[in-house]
Amino acid sequence: MRDIFAKALVFFSKNKKRLFFFVAFFVGLVGPMALASSEATQEASHGSQAFLLWLPVILIAAAISKLIEKIGQPSVLGELIMGVLIGNLALIGINWLEPIKTDFFIQGLAEFGVVVLLFQVGLESNIQKMMKVGLPAFLVAVIGVVLPFILGTYVVGPMMFPGLSQVAYLFLGASLVATSVGITARVFQDLNKSKIREAQVVLGAAVIDDVLGLIILAVVSAIATVGSVSVGAISIITGKAVLFLIGSIVIGVLAAPKIGQIFSKINNNTGMKAIIVLSFGLIFAYLAGQVGLAPIVGAFAAGLVLDPVHFKFFRDPQIIYDIKESVSDQEPVTKSKLLEKIKHHSDAHVEDLIKELGNYIIPVFFVLTGMAVNIETLFDLPVLMTALVVTFVAVITKIVAGLAAGKGSNKLIVGVGMIPRGEVGLIFATIGAGLGVVNDELFSVIVIMVILTTLLTPPILAYLLKKQDKNPSGQVVDQAV
């Protein structure tokens, strides 16, 4: 970490103009907008058109945050930090940006963004590659769920929060379970590492992790409300989730080629291709949500089963035109050579098209995630110390789970990749608080644990990935996939 700050200082001191531009732009961004909206915020901020201001605020913040790439950090970290800054401006009296946090449209766009991200990551992989890492991913997921759940419920809970009920400890254990894979997936993507073996193991483990988290949520909720667990009900929940995953793979593999073929008859341009590919991902995300899984798990599964070859019926006239244009009388090429170029372009294009959309909406999720961080939570010293202990347990248990990644993977990268806890941890805390078993202190501790695991993972993971690049002899990486 010291390294990062040193690099940042060097970056700004080397050229004062850079710092000037950064500060000037932030003032330039906040100033006129505040002026323009000061009188109007009251009425308009919850109106349907307020997003026309909130969206550019988020996008420009994300654009500025790309500065962090210059000190070697993934841009997702910049987006999170920028989110934290914007989200806590109210502490220094600037509160006209507060409505962003509760804007329905922006929230929807953030959800849309993270679904598109995991869909993209799924597209970059495929079923065959995932199957290869099936066993290690399963082991990582199971250990990464069982270990923090038991430690949280039977050790950390009673030790750090004496006097609370056993059910409260159950909620703490449960909140330590589920990996929020969005952060990790984005770091892999920022550093162009989505296809390495470690990424495959983490993503596979995250899918299984989500199923296990779903079961634990059902069990813990049942114990907290009814006092006992119905094996039948839990079986149904688990069965639906597992059936969805198996079903999506079977249906996806069978239906994807047909769908591509039929639609190509209507209008075989890239715009059509992009719409169908995206719709496929969204429907899977929706169905995952319907069986109780995270929509991002469905989107990832959809990406896995889609293969560019299913869309070979589509041709992009613009690209063909461009390539034809680039060939003049003075530079003749053979027809087979030209066709090869076109084929290559068409194959790569499915992912590219979704990327263009992701460029606009994925940052919304991460800036909004940063905005949800309430810095004030970190000011209560006793709570913070307790939270640090819980965070330590959250980190170490996933790193231990990473050891199950097996030969061919950098185990530390897999373990760190599983660290981030997100929505699911907060869902447990919120349900527990709603039932009156999780008190204010425990709630704050869980929130801080989620914040720290979210913010610390990107720089650590980026550091490990770069170290591996420099010294690949230490671990064998499967580059053949």
* Site residues (vs a second copy, CB under 8 A): 18, 21, 24-25, 33, 36-37, 40, 44, 48-53, 55-56, 59-60, 62-64, 66-67, 69, 104-105, 107-109, 111-112, 115, 262-263, 265-267, 271-272, 274-276, 278-280, 282-283, 285-287, 289-290, 295, 323, 326, 331-333, 341, 353, 356-357, 359-360, 363
Q: How far is the CB of 376 from a second copy (least distance, A)?
A: 26
Do residues 343 and 410 touch, judged by C-beta distance below 8 A?
Answer: no
Q: How far is the CB of 58 from a second copy (least distance, A)?
A: 9
Q: How far is the CB of 70 from a second copy (least distance, A)?
A: 8
Do residues 293 and 210 touch, judged by C-beta distance below 8 A?
Answer: yes
Q: How far is the CB of 229 from a second copy (least distance, A)?
A: 23
Task: Determine how many CB atoms are found less than 10 A away from the CB of residue 53.
Answer: 21
Instruction: Report residue 375 CA to chain centroid gap.
Output: 22
β-partners of residue 454 are none
Q: How far is the CB of 396 from a second copy (least distance, A)?
A: 33
**Closer of 66 and 466 to a second copy (Cβ):** 66
Q: How far is the CB of 356 from a second copy (least distance, A)?
A: 4
**Closer of 301 and 449 to a second copy (Cβ):** 301
CA dihedral 449, 455, 457, 458 (to 10 degrees): 170
**Closer of 324 and 466 to a second copy (Cβ):** 324
Give the Cα separation of 471 and 473 in Å (integer).
Answer: 6
Task: Determine how many CB atoms are found less than 10 A away from the CB of residue 41.
Answer: 18
Distances (CA, A) of 279 to 267, 288, 309: 16, 14, 17
Distances (CA, A) of 429 to 71, 183, 196, 366, 435: 35, 20, 34, 21, 10
Which 3 state secondary structure label does DSSP give 179? strand
**Closer of 169 and 280 to a second copy (Cβ):** 280
**Closer of 170 and 350 to a second copy (Cβ):** 350
Residue 97 tokens, joined: 């940006």
Closest CA to 120 of 299, 270, 279, 255: 299
In degrees, to the nearest 5, what angle opens at C-alpha 318 toward C-alphas 316 and 320?
75
**Closer of 294 and 452 to a second copy (Cβ):** 294
Classify burial at 329, counting beta carbons within 10 Å of its beta carbon; exposed 0-12, middle 13-18, buried 19 or more: exposed
Range list of H helices, 152-266 = 157-160, 166-175, 181-190, 197-225, 231-266
Give the Cα separation of 245 and 256 in Å (integer).
Answer: 16
**Closer of 109 and 208 to a second copy (Cβ):** 109
Q: How far is the CB of 333 from a second copy (least distance, A)?
A: 7
Q: How far is the CB of 45 from a second copy (least distance, A)?
A: 11
**Closer of 33 and 90 to a second copy (Cβ):** 33
Which 3 state secondary structure label does DSSP give 46? coil
Closest CA to 443 of 428, 459, 465: 428
Q: How far is the CB of 83 from a second copy (least distance, A)?
A: 16
**Closer of 228 and 330 to a second copy (Cβ):** 330
Residue 23's H or E segment, with its range, is: helix 16-38
Q: How far is the CB of 124 from a second copy (least distance, A)?
A: 16
**Closer of 64 and 451 to a second copy (Cβ):** 64
